[in-house]
């Protein structure tokens, strides 16, 4: 006999199957959506079968009423009737696996403690990552095996911008991974690369949130609130800045400027990322892109921060673009740069596109800054590296994302081992890996989705519309998370993993509520994750504790206070 609270009996007026059944809620009790219940059935010659499930629908009706207007007579006491509530249960686990239906009239209990853990497969999770609290106020866990590549990898997060809190959940998931102890000794070396595309919200991860009043939720999940301890922030240089000053407003220290020298651009073959729109790959001038890229790699010679090509020194990205276009317009040089089979119309299309990139990329590709100065995006020092893109135009954002992802993926390939893990958080995934077309960035993201698991590269992708993201990327995401959706998007087949009732509920989900599907559990679980314990805007920023990372340009952080430690896990 279970010690859990009895809440009703298996309904006898609706079919009960091993996969779904209805429960009549007894007087004085209640069941709400997402509650976990369990019932038992005696089977001849077998151990008792425990059938556990999650409430996916609840209804209430008058028994004895025949017409809609009867409700008035019943409420006035003129017509006898009873109010009866019933809950639909979707089975999550049958133990032992004897798939028989529960018997009508069997007592149904609200599952708590070990029974709840069994119903939701938490008892089978050797390494559990706290995701948040369920509707019953108890912790909900994610199986780390489906995140770190052991049995699956990658996370897809969908929802309306500004309401679904996609980025907040992604950073919360990282915080839980780093602080829950599931990584053991590997936590020190595990890295996260976050691209910040909206405002400066993610540039203060190393500052505690002064407005946090949610410590109880952290305690319930076995975590201690606090900021991320080891953070490096990279931002593009200000436009027109001869000193390479980072273009950041919310903090004046602790930020490194990133850019690429002309030598980097040529020798590392970065030109294709200038043409990173999906539409570009459908144009004929892509063959010119690859021809010019190869020629630059062969011909460019470093020269005091700039480069020399065929005896001519080039000191800026504008100089390089103008030189390439002049060579392509010269009939004698065109064959060397673009190939003999390329027509003039194709060359002109390439040149127009390249000239249009000067305004967007001039501050990122430099020939006027010291080449030996540290200027790249280095993820090896800090545990969390944030790359700020929000001040860049779309073309420049694509360039930075494409080049950085290629660099990190190649680094992991050369390492040859999956450990330590490298998490990549990328918002607006539908822009970088759209369903239609192809581009250099999309190819890299597909490679990460399909091979990243074996290399220890874990993609946490966020998008407003999963229906517009490349199918293979979504299909390779073992964990799927949904916040609030608009009605048109919620009806798309990409959300077929949500039961009908949850498809309706995502239209009403409040910020901080997410629907999480993982392979081991048949029904997506609804979780509420805690308010961030790190600052998400300057008005929330408290004094940061000492970190294990200080940027090369950092001198004195006006926020810094030593000795304010909120976590005893080393980084």
CATH of the domain at 90: 2.40.30
DSSP summary character for residue 131: E
Examine the domain organization and report whether 193 and 245 are in the same domain: yes
Shared-domain flag, residues 236 and 275: no
Q: Which of 366, 385, 415 is the last residue of a domain?
A: 366
CB 538 within 8 A of CB 250: yes
Per-residue pLDDT of 78-127, as tens digits, reads 899 899 999 999 999 999 999 999 999 999 999 999 999 999 999 999 99
264 and 317 co-located in one domain: yes
The answer to whether residue 288 sits within a structural domain is yes
DSSP 220-273: HTT------SSEEEEEPBPTT-SS--B--SS-SSSEEE--EEHHHHHHTT-GGG
Q: pLDDT band for 562, please (50, 70, 90 cuts).
A: very low
pLDDT digits 0-9 by tens, 214-229: 899 999 999 999 999 9
Same domain for 238 and 269, yes or no, is no
pLDDT at residue number 68: 92
Say which residues have a Cβ less than 8 Å from residue 437's Cβ, sequence separation at least 6: 278, 279, 281, 282
Q: What is the pLDDT of residue 314?
A: 92
d(CA 468, CA 483): 16
**Given its phi and psi angles, is residue 512 left (phi above 0), alpha (psi -120 to 50 degrees) or beta?**
left
Is 399 a domain residue?
yes
Same domain? 335 vs 466: no
pLDDT of residue 438: 84
Provide mean pLDDT across the span 457-480.
Answer: 94
Establish if 566 belongs to a structural domain: no
Question: Does residue 371 sit within a domain?
Answer: no
Task: Give 154's contacts (C-beta < 8 A, 6+ positions apart).
Answer: 449, 452, 453, 458, 459, 460, 461, 473, 476, 477, 478, 479
| Within a domain: 559 | no
CATH number at residue 457: 3.40.50.300
Number of domains in the chain: 3
Considering 334, 366, 398, which residue would you say is the last residue of a domain?
366
Mean pLDDT across the stretch 354-359?
93
* 551 within a domain of the structure (yes/no): no
Output the average pLDDT for the chain: 88
Of the two residues 64 and 11, the one the predictor is more confident about is 11
On the question of pLDDT at 318 being above 90, the answer is yes
pLDDT band of 282, cuts 50, 70, 90: low
Which domain covers residue 69, as residue numbers? 5-119
- Is residue 57 pLDDT above 70, yes or no? yes
Same domain membership, residue 435 and residue 397: yes
Mean pLDDT of 335-353: 84
Listed in sequence order, the residues at least 6 apart from 57 whose beta carbon sits closer than 8 Å to its beta carbon are 33, 87, 88, 501
Confidence grade of residue 416 (pLDDT, cut at 50, 70, 90): confident
- Please tell me whether residues 25 and 149 are part of one structural domain: no
- The answer to whether residue 547 scores a pLDDT higher than 90 is no
Looking at the chain, the whole-number percentage of residues with pLDDT higher than 90 is 69
- The model's confidence at residue 453, banded by pLDDT at 50, 70 and 90, is very high
For residues 337 and 418, state if they share a domain: no
Flag whether the pTM goes above 0.85: yes
Tell whether 490 is covered by a domain: yes
Tell me: do 509 and 383 sit in the same domain: yes
Question: Both 179 and 306 in a single domain?
Answer: no
126, part of any domain: no
From 63, 91, 119, the end of a domain falls on 119
- Determine the pLDDT at residue 543: 67
Residues 230 and 282 in one domain: no
Tell me, yes or no, whether 400 and 516 share the same domain: yes
């Amino acid at each position: 006999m279970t010690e859990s609270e009895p809440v009703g009996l298996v309904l006898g007026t609706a079919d009960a199957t091993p996969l779904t059944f209805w429960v009549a809620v007894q007087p004085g009790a209640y069941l709400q959506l997402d509650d976990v219940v369990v019932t038992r059935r005696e089977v001849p010659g077998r151990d008792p079968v425990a059938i556990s499930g999650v409430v996916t629908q609840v209804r209430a009706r008058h028994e004895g009423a025949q017409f809609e207007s009867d409700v008035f007579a019943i409420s006035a006491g003129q017509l006898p009737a009873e109010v009866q509530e019933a809950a639909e249960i979707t089975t999550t686990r049958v133990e032992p696996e004897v798939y028989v239906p529960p018997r009508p009239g069997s007592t149904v209990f609200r599952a708590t403690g070990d029974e709840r853990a069994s119903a939701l497969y938490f008892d089978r999770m050797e390494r559990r990552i706290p995701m948040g609290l369920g509707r019953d106020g108890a912790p909900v866990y994610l199986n780390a095996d489906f995140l770190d590549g052991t049995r699956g990898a990658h996370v897809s997060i969908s929802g309306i911008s500004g309401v679904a809190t996609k980025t907040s959940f992604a950073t919360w998931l990282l915080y839980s991974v780093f602080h829950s102890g599931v990584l053991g000794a590997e936590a020190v070396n595990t890295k996260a690369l976050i691209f910040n595309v909206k405002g400066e919200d993610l540039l203060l991860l190393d500052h505690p949130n002064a407005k946090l009043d949610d410590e109880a939720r952290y305690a319930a999940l076995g975590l201690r609130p606090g900021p991320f301890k080891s953070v490096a922030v990279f931002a593009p240089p200000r436009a027109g800045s001869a000193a390479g000053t980072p273009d950041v407003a919310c903090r004046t220290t602790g930020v490194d400027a990133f850019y690429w020298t002309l030598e980097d651009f040529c020798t590392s073959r970065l030109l294709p990322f200038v043409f990173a729109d999906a539409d570009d790959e459908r144009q004929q001038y892509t063959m010119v892109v690859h021809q010019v890229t190869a020629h630059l790699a062969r011909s460019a010679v470093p020269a005091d921060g700039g480069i020399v090509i065929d005896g001519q020194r080039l000191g800026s990205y504008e100089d390089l673009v103008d030189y390439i276009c002049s060579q392509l317009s010269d009939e004698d040089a065109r064959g060397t740069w673009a190939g003999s089979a390329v027509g003039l119309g194709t060359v002109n299309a390439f040149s127009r596109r390249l000239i249009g990139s000067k305004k967007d990329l001039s501050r990122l590709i430099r020939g006027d800054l010291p080449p030996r100065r540290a200027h790249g995006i280095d993820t090896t020092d800090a545990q969390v590296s944030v790359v700020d893109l929000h001040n860049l135009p779309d073309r420049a954002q694509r360039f930075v994302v494409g080049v950085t992802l290629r660099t990190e993926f190649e680094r992991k390939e050369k390492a040859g081992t999956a450990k330590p893990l490298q998490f990549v958080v990328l918002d607006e995934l539908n822009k970088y890996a759209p369903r239609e077309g192809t581009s250099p960035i999309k190819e890299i993201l597909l490679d990460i989705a399909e091979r990243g698991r074996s290399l220890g590269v874990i993609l946490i992708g966020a998008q407003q519309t999963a229906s517009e993201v490349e199918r293979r990327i979504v299909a390779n995401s073992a964990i799927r998370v949904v916040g609030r959706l608009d009605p048109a998007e919620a009806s798309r087949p990409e959300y077929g993993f949500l039961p009908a009732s949850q498809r309706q509920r995502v239209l009403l989900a409040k910020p901080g509520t997410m629907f999480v599907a993982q392979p081991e559990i048949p029904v997506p679980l609804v979780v509420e994750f805690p308010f961030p314990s790190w600052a998400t805007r300057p008005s929330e920023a408290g004094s940061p504790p000492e970190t294990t990372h200080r940027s090369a340009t950092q001198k004195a952080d006006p926020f810094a206070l030593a000795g304010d430690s909120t976590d005893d896990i080393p980084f």
